[in-house]
Amino acid sequence: MAIIITDECINCDACISECPNNAIYEPDQEWTYAEETELSGAITTPSGVEVDADEENDPISEEFYFIVPDKCTECKGFHDEPQCASVCPVDCCVPDEDNLETEEALLEKKAWLHGE
């Protein structure tokens, strides 16, 4: 499953540099699938939606740091545990119960993001 950042976030910036998939963004920041990945142009997301990887998307949160679910792999293939959760001083990086994924699916997503 992907990780989410709850509204308990204090916007400390600890998590953003830890994410190997560039899935974490500052509040009110537009984001792309292409940013810090191998994705470009027309793509199909892991959830089956066709999008332009280079197109800027609206922020998911206006107030708190946020994680793009289609870019989050829980750090599978990079680390033993989600790095955002391990560095968060207020424990607001938690599993997203609305985005349940198997370890196999998370590793496939990592390969998709990084052209492996």
pLDDT averaged per 10 residues in sequence order, the chain, 116 residues: 91 95 96 95 92 97 95 95 96 93 94 93
How many angstroms from the chain centroid is the CA of residue 79? 15
pLDDT of 27: 95
Contact present, 110 and 76 (Cβ < 8 Å) = yes
Question: Token match 């740091």: residue?
Answer: 65
pLDDT of 46: 85
pLDDT of 110: 96
pLDDT of 1: 66
Distance CA 19, CA 95 (A): 15
pLDDT of 54: 97
